[in-house]
Structure 1
Amino acid sequence: MFGEYSVNNNQADPAADGHPPESDAVPGNLPPESASFVGRERELGLLDGLLRERRLITLTGVGGVGKSRLALRAAARARREHPDGVWWVELSPLRDPRLLTATVTHAIGLADHSAAPLDEELCAWMADKTLLLVLDTCEHLVADCRHLVGELLQSAPGLTVLVTSREPLGSPGERVVDVRPLPCEGPDSDALALFRARALTATPRAAAAFADPDRARVAADVCRRLDGIPLALELAGARMRRWSLEQMAERLGTRFEVLSDSRTERPPRHRTMRTAIGWSHELCEPVERLLWARLSVFSGDFDDAAARAVCAGGPLPAARVERVLAGLVAKSVVRRTEERGTGTRFRMLDTIREYGHGWLAELGEEQLVADRHAHWYAALARAADQGWLGPGQVDWYRRMTAERAQLRTALEHLLGTDPPAALEMAGALWFYWFACGHVREGRGFLERALRAAPPAGAAYNQAQWALGLTAMLQGDMDVAREIGAQCTSAAARLADPERELRAAYLSAVSVLMPGDPVRALALAGPRARAAHGGRTSAPGWLLCKLATGYALCDLERYEEATAEARSLREACAELGERWLRAYADYILAVAALGLGDYGEAARHVRAMLSGKRLLGDRFGIALGLDVLAAAVAELGDGELAARLLGTGHAWWRTVGRPQMGGSPSLTALRDRGERRARAAIGDAAYEAAFLGGAAAPTG
């Protein structure tokens, strides 16, 4: 959207000025439905009413009964009543309750850069919103979800929360809806309809079985034996690829007698679900069972390369993993998804993954497979570190964003088993923490890794520098300056020019943001111009040139800033890099604004915003909108400038630190645009346009 701003003779494309389009579109992140939806009309009708009347609804029921699918369909139907969005937060991959608020924050599109408590920031952001928040799969985080939901509901009167969990939260005012299995009675039962749909997906030949009345009665009996539990029906339907309906009924009956355990204290539906999964497990080939068990180490979705690296071994060589994985997909044990920008990925439902993890423990492979998983993602972090500032930057951004749950799991494991490896991995992820919206989470992991490691060596220096970057973005400048000095001393001891450049950048920005461009220029300028013995394609030199350009703009040395930014932009273009190149465009825009070339400033900032959109850099988008507003105001379009400032305000709120916490130069730039816009159209028109821009979605 931001690459389409058009400023020409005071005209602008109205579809690109930050307003939501003239449509029924509502912001949000609901995932696509993975398969056709069957039945549940009574439950959906009930939820339609509850989502209008109650503020906290929890869907409970046994694993596999369809709570998440029902919540997804109900949330989609409720879009119109929630103009600020319907937001889906998947909690099944989350194991560390300390990351609950960060997970919710990221899911709703916040990239909080403040040092204030995150739950306070989230409450403040939601306070004036009318939105629906769906927390999916909360049973392993009940107490933490209860606490967070209570705070949010108290702070945000327009908030509605829909929860799925195997047990209620136990919150005041919670309305609990028990999601029961699908009805099994009658020739048109929902259970039979679902079984038929999944069987037809497995093989069109199944149509004949359901068309014959006598065989349809056999199918109905299968549904009754499976208690109408949707996941059990899906697993059975997938088996129709190889069996007739009669074979299905016979083998199902036999297996249920063998696998059912009357000694267990589980409620009947829990036993039915577990027995159905056990039956499906028994019918897998030995190598499929082995892969099933090993795949249980993945939290959330994964790709086939990770499956090969983590799960191969013994009777399952890497060359066979893909074929065996396809077999599990065909049996509905594993689900295949297509993610934009990351290709095909796979995942297990929690109930199936839990069953597989039990078998992994029986095999005695828990530690082995967890180690493989952690070291595979540590290697991925190292590869990303090498690739961030190159032509694959956007692909790396998308891939590492998709791997967030796996990166967390790997880091947690390494912190407990191999602290040096955790330190190296956390430091290698510097760009992910610093530039991809995970500042607070990165700071937490880096602090833990640094506490667990001896304070020496290149890996320690790298992690310490990355920690300084996160502190700087959170506005903790005293800590950033202190870490910058420590990194400078360590780099000198290591005799590493690249590390000296990185430390110089951190030190320079930590004094530049509070308003000391002279000191910043003294720290970064000489190194940027001489490269200080480092490689001019390495991050340190590029970052020092960026800090130098910023400082020159703050000193109103605009011609020099332009030269510095052009040099940086050319270096980035040669590398195929987008993130730093966009900031070079920002410096060019600010310099053009200072030189009075307002059309040129608008052109540069449009290029900047286009690059930032590709990488989801909310901080960069907020910066760019302020500059674009100033340029548009100088060109005489006060209304558009006011709308842009309103939209910029909305983006700054998602970052949590407007104008970088009150940086003098950024605040002055924003105020300049406001003064010009108010002078052009008057206060009343300005306020109306600003509010219109502020209402624009930021997703």
Structure 2
Amino acid sequence: MGNLPVVTTSFVGRISELGDAARALEKHRLVTLTGSGGVGKSRLALRAADRASERYADGVWWADLSHLYDDRLLIGTVSDAVGLLDHDLARPVEALCERLADRNLLLVLDCCERIIDSCSHLVRELLAAAPGLAVLATSRKPLGVRGEYRLDVPPLAAGGDGEEAMRLFRDRAATAAPHVALDTPGTTAAAVRICRRLEGIPLALELACARLAENSVEQIADRLGSRLDFLTDRTVWPERHRALRTAIGWSHELCTPTERLLWARLSVFPGAIEEADAQAVCSGGPLRADAIPALMARLATQSVLQHNGSRYRMLDTLREYGAMWLDELDERKPLAQRHAEHFADVARQAHTCWLGPQQVAWYRRIAETDADLCAALDHLLAEGSEKAVEMAGCTGLFWSCCGHLQRARVYLERALRIDSGRSKHHTRALWALGITLTLQGDHESAREFGERCSVAAWHDHDAESMLSAAHLVSFNYLMMGRPQTAHDVSDHALRSLPGDPLAAPSQLRCRVIRVFALSALGRLDDAYEDATNLQQLSLRYGEYWARAYADHQLALIHLLQGRPREAEDHARSMLAGKYQLRDSLGIALGLDLLAGAIAAQGDGVEAARTSGTGHVYWRMIGHPHRGTPELGVIRDAWERQAREAAGDPAYDSAYHRSLTADAESGLVRALQGHLPS
């Protein structure tokens, strides 16, 4: 159980350090691997965590902090890493502490150095709240938390042919240039010289090996030696980093001018990089957009970039070097602006295409560019740009649907503070924040934003704005247990503003509220008709979000009217749709319904398993109410049915096994193996 990243290159040496790390983790709850950039702290932490995984019943969880330049996203990043989505209104740190309080797990915090004070504070609170928690951190300096055990990660031993640095050099050389022989006395001696001159630093050795396709081992040894002797690099790195600085600088010099320019410009990306995004942000001057994919591939062969599927990543140390040259070129500010404007446009496109066959693809796009969207919003907010208001409103629905409520709330509140209120972007941001507050259970604040959103929509004279306001107000009433008022508000809006949902996607959202309100009021025949119409409308546009909620209501109605087999089919269909969108709230609701349908058919043990998996998702989300209020009574009735069918011991055993199992595995079982790709 866990989320350790998959690495395709081999792990070489470090036997002594792995042993030290294993012994340290047995005795200490906080172990920090310290060392300079490029020395291999992250790879060592990954291998050490993997080896220790059997000791932690609740798994090993990895949080990559390398893209964080301030502390605002730290809690959200760590929460995401351990599978906690933030529907809870409690302070994020409190929710995270509560999530981990009874867990026995290892949390790996990779690259703490930029936000070292915030990491120290968080680790201190987590260790105090969760006695079964251990933390393995990597950082260029220790966290300074009481009880911390520090392990300094040295470079690889670089003494001779049998040493670790030489083994790494041979391994990476075989990948980069399989035609190069290292078994002659001359090449072996030259390789040993390289390992010594680069002081056994893994990143430096990988950069050197990447040049073997164009240079002999002897040439590399001579040139690196010369560069060390006459170092005139304009960096300000400490003297102890001279070997790494030399390797990076030499690799940089061997790049073509356009490769160097791209390296510098790519440093503006905090996370993984798509070719299309690089073309949009980095092109200009001598760097043509159509040349960028080939240049990125070339930088990957030189180990400047790491290629993973359709995306690239740049190691933090190399990004720092690129950023230094971006400053030298006086391009940091314009590149940050281009990056921000590009991802604001991505958010705008996602919002525009929400209703349609590309809906799932846009949900995934937003999830995969998370770090860039946050960086873009931070930049636009710092500039005081009203584009930040538009962007926050566009991403708000995606983030709230996928459980990132605290992030959505923080950015929307910041955006509204700089908003002039002169455009429909203002209305959209009010709507998105109101939905977020409702999902967090802050109904009084949501009511206030519903009123503000309604006034703003009236000034807009725009159907989408007015439907959005109605959606927010009626949704808040529904979650407060007032389905009649929720029905009246949504129904009035739909009757007053008919038309094509493509022109006003919130029409579909209001339809979802109306059908939920009808079933809560016991008007099941009306609800069935509404849900069927909603399903057909969603199918016409090829969208998943509203269709899944139509399936939810059809499953509920079939179940309440004594047709559990039909209810089971609709519940599975809902789960499939919500899995496509990675909508954990929808998955939790669907699992509850599926458990009820299975219980009604007499399989109490399978119902217990499904209910246990559902509880895992509810616990992940931290949702205080587990859906609309009326579902609680119905859920209790399903549980009684399942217990009567299975017997209390069998029910409790199956339930608790699912409760402690991996959430995704439980979902696969619930879908009977038909997991969408």
TM over 0.5: yes
The interval holding the TM-score normalised by the smaller chain is over 0.9
The CA deviation string for residues 538-568 of structure 1, in whole angstroms up to 9 with x for no partner, is: 4211111100110011011111111111111
The CA deviation string for residues 132-163 of structure 1, in whole angstroms up to 9 with x for no partner, is: 11100000111111111111111111111110
**Alignment partner of 1:308 out of 262, 279, 284:** 279
The CA deviation string for residues 255-283 of structure 1, in whole angstroms up to 9 with x for no partner, is: 22232579978242x12211221121122
Matched residue, 2:601: 635
Instruction: Work out whether 1:294 is the aligned partner of 2:294.
Output: no
Distance in 1 separating the partners of 2:303 and 2:650 = 58
Distance 1:368 1:537, change over 3 A: closer
**Alignment partner of 1:256 out of 193, 205, 228:** 228
SS at match of 1:429: helix
Alpha-carbon contact 1:565-1:584 (below 8 Å) kept: yes
Distance in 1 separating the partners of 2:217 and 2:392 = 53
The residue type equivalent to 2:536 in the other structure is E
SS at match of 2:311: strand
The CA deviation string for residues 283-317 of structure 1, in whole angstroms up to 9 with x for no partner, is: 21111111111111110211111111111111212
The residue type equivalent to 2:302 in the other structure is K
Distance 1:265 1:145, change over 3 A: closer
What is the TM-score when the length of structure 1 is the normalising length? 0.92
**Alignment partner of 1:218 out of 190, 196, 204:** 190
Alignment of 1:442-461 (within 5 A): 442-461=408-427
Alignment of 1:184-199 (within 5 A): 184-199=158-173
How far residue 246 of structure 1 moved from its aligned partner, in angstroms, is: 1.3
Distance in 2 separating the partners of 1:522 and 1:161 = 52
Tell me, which stretches of 5 or more residues in structure 1 are unaligned? Answer: 1-26, 339-343
Alignment of 1:376-387 (within 5 A): 376-387=342-353
Matched residue, 1:235: 207
The CA deviation string for residues 45-93 of structure 1, in whole angstroms up to 9 with x for no partner, is: 2222222332111100010000001111111122211221211100010
Distance in 2 separating the partners of 1:263 and 1:395 = 42
Distance in 2 separating the partners of 1:446 and 1:674 = 39
Segment of structure 1 superposing worse, 675-684 or 33-42: 675-684
Distance 1:510 1:594, change over 3 A: same
Segment of structure 1 superposing worse, 636-645 or 360-369: 636-645
Segment of structure 1 superposing worse, 686-695 or 153-162: 686-695
The residue type equivalent to 1:190 in the other structure is E
Instruction: Work out whether 1:179 is the aligned partner of 2:153.
Output: yes
Alpha-carbon contact 2:237-2:245 (below 8 Å) kept: no
Tell me, which stretches of 5 or more residues in structure 2 are unaligned? Answer: 665-677
Instruction: Work out whether 1:389 is the aligned partner of 2:360.
Output: no
Matched residue, 2:252: 281
Distance in 2 separating the partners of 1:554 and 1:87 = 40
Identical columns (%): 50
Matched residue, 1:28: 2
Alpha-carbon contact 1:558-1:591 (below 8 Å) kept: yes
The CA deviation string for residues 336-380 of structure 1, in whole angstroms up to 9 with x for no partner, is: 112xxxxx1111111111111111111111111111100010111
Distance in 1 separating the partners of 2:331 and 2:502 = 46
The residue type equivalent to 2:82 in the other structure is I
Instruction: Work out whether 1:567 is the aligned partner of 2:533.
Output: yes
Instruction: Work out whether 1:69 is the aligned partner of 2:34.
Output: no
The residue type equivalent to 1:690 in the other structure is Y
Alignment of 1:356-375 (within 5 A): 356-375=322-341
Distance 1:184 1:478, change over 3 A: same
How far residue 532 of structure 1 moved from its aligned partner, in angstroms, is: 3.6
Alignment of 1:168-567 (within 5 A): 168-206=142-180, 208=181, 210-259=182-231, 266-268=238-240, 270-338=241-309, 344-528=310-494, 531-533=497-499, 535=501, 538-567=504-533
Distance in 1 separating the partners of 2:132 and 2:562 = 45
Instruction: Work out whether 1:674 is the aligned partner of 2:639.
Output: yes
Instruction: Work out whether 1:122 is the aligned partner of 2:90.
Output: no
How far residue 531 of structure 1 moved from its aligned partner, in angstroms, is: 4.3
The residue type equivalent to 1:145 in the other structure is C
Distance 1:523 1:467, change over 3 A: same
Segment of structure 1 superposing worse, 78-87 or 235-244: 78-87
The residue type equivalent to 2:323 in the other structure is H
The CA deviation string for residues 9-57 of structure 1, in whole angstroms up to 9 with x for no partner, is: xxxxxxxxxxxxxxxxxx2111111311111111112222222332111
Distance in 1 separating the partners of 2:194 and 2:111 = 28
Distance in 1 separating the partners of 2:159 and 2:337 = 48
Distance in 1 separating the partners of 2:502 and 2:185 = 76
How far residue 247 of structure 1 moved from its aligned partner, in angstroms, is: 1.0
SS at match of 2:308: strand
Instruction: Work out whether 1:40 is the aligned partner of 2:14.
Output: yes
Distance in 2 separating the partners of 1:389 and 1:535 = 8
SS at match of 1:239: coil
SS at match of 2:230: helix
Matched residue, 1:82: 56
What is the TM-score when the length of structure 2 is the normalising length? 0.95
Distance in 2 separating the partners of 1:322 and 1:576 = 32
The CA deviation string for residues 552-610 of structure 1, in whole angstroms up to 9 with x for no partner, is: 11011111111111111111111111122111100101111121111111111011111
Distance 1:356 1:536, change over 3 A: closer
